[in-house]
Amino acid sequence: MIPKQKSQFDARGVPVSVCEPASLDDYEKALIQFQSYFGDPTETLSDTLQRDPEFVLGHIFNANAMLMMSERQYLPAIRKNIETAESLSSKSNDREKALISAARHWMEGRWDKAAATWDVVLAKYPHDALAIQCGHLTDFYLGDAVNLRDRIGRVIGSWDQSMPGYSYILGMQAFGLEECNEFERAEETGRVALSIEPRDGWSVHAITHVLEMQNRYDEGQKFLEDRTGDWSGDNGFEFHNWWHLALFYIEREDFDDALRLYDERILPEESDLSLQMLDATALLWRLHLQGVDVGDRWNAIADSWERKTLLESGYYAFNDLHAVVAFAGAKRLGSAKEVTNRVIEAANNNPDLTRMMARDVGIPTCSAMIAFAEGRYADAVSDLYPVRSIAHRFGGSNAQRDILTQTLIESAIRDGQARLAQNLLNERSMHKPLSPLTRRFKNKIVH
């Protein structure tokens, strides 16, 4: 066996407890995979841990990477990694102990405390790329736009282009700026990131959000299409960028191409990944609101959710909403109501933060989608209108949560609430004055 070093550091100068030198090399490979979404970092370190089972940081990394999938199905493997890391606490340094604590907080439903613990780590180790990315993604799941921006702002002054992975830190900063409506700075930062590392799907994603929010649909479509070689192909994030391209098509009322992307890129085959399934579901629902016949696609995506909901329902309300939407689209209202009942249980029994998500946003949004599917449009309006200003509490981006506003507008139109629909569209026009989709909604209003 290769002798273990007593003191060592990763490529950014962050201390790592005793491990085989080859294990640290594998960690660097996994970290780049985690940042870029190319490859499977947990598989990379799974082999490493077979060879070096006392590699504490490897167990920590795999636990945190799986936590970022936001699914209950990974919890047994996550727990095993956490408990193994805890059993090696006599060998771990202070940074690693804190990372273990953050992972346990998340695993047990205290996502806010996990976020705070990553901040403690970053105050002392601002170059800890693993803590930065986990904290950033947690801010996204919590709908915390301010920290999505400012967590990166607290550390980026310690980074520069000479450090491995700098472009990915810039990409995260760009997305946080965009979610805080600082569009010019977001685009500038994202383009700097891409000038350093063109194959940075997260930076492409951040700029795409800017182009969507600024009504630059033709430019956004061209931007994504011209760079497909950078962000697609064996990339765990590509389905989401394809989804964004489909949104540009929908905004231009090019529904056929949106469906083509759905079939060829967004969900080309059955998936068990909630992140991919919710994008597919949300796209179908947007088309459904515009009267587009999506054929048997509803049943196919509903089948996928049926296989997941018994285990996953009540874990993360944002995912639960999309399961309900799929069941509503497929006219499986019994299944939609079963998921909603589990969200109600989560609102009573979950740890504080995920209980709040379920109570404040999950229940009313799930109820609204069922009401819409049953033709109770007034009830859908009553459920959705009060929650619009707090919907960020259950995570997602501004673009993803637009499904709620679009459903509210369509519900008001179908219920004959012309003045409310017009007011909502006036608001939408202020943000998206050139949107053909907004004009399409306006043309439905009967005065």
The string of pLDDT tens digits covering residues 349-362 is 999 899 999 999 99
- When pLDDT is cut at 50, 70 and 90, the band that residue 6 belongs to is low
- Judged against a pLDDT cut of 70, whether residue 4 lies above it is answered with no
Q: What are phi and psi of 15, to 5 degrees?
A: -65, 140
Specify the residue for token string 């995260």.
Answer: 172
**pLDDT (tens digit per residue) in 141-194:** 999 999 999 999 999 999 999 999 999 999 999 999 999 999 999 999 999 999
Give the pLDDT confidence score for residue 7 in this predicted structure.
60
**What are the residue ranges of helices labelled H in 145-213?**
145-155, 166-179, 183-196, 201-213
CB contact set of 45 (below 8 Å; sequence gap of 6+): 26, 27, 30, 58, 61, 62
pLDDT average, residue stretch 358-371: 98
Of residues 160, 164, 125, the one with CA closest to residue 31: 164
Query: pLDDT tens digit string along 123-144?
Result: 999 999 999 999 999 999 999 9
If one counts every other C-beta atom within 10 angstroms of the C-beta of residue 20, the result is 18
Average pLDDT, the chain: 95
Please give the structure tokens belonging to residue 60: 């920590």
Query: Which pLDDT value is given to residue 2?
Result: 40
Share of the chain above pLDDT 70, in %: 98
- Which of 342, 337, 387 is CA-nearest to residue 361? 387
pLDDT in tens, 63-77: 999 999 999 999 999
pLDDT, position 5: 44
Long-range CB pairs of 435-438, under 8 A, 24+ apart, other chains included: 435/215, 435/217, 435/251, 436/251, 436/252, 436/253, 437/250, 437/251, 437/253, 437/290
How confident is the model over 14-28, as pLDDT tens digits?
999 988 999 999 999
CA distance 198 to 208: 14
Query: For the chain, what are the domain ranges?
Result: 8-130, 273-447
DSSP state of 269: S
**Residue 1 scores a pLDDT above 50:** no
Q: What percent of the chain has pLDDT over 90?
A: 93
Phi-psi region of 73 (alpha: psi -120 to 50; beta: other; left: phi over 0): alpha
Residue 446 pLDDT level (bands cut at 50, 70, 90): confident
Residue (of 266, 306, 300, 295) closest to 283 by Cα position:
266
CATH class of 8-130: mainly alpha
Average pLDDT over residues 429-446: 88
Distance, CA of 370 to CA of 380 (rounded, Å): 8
**pLDDT tens, 235-273?**
999 999 999 999 999 999 999 999 999 999 999 999 999
Kindly state the average pLDDT of the residues 355-384: 98
- Contact by Cβ (8 Å): 66, 59: no
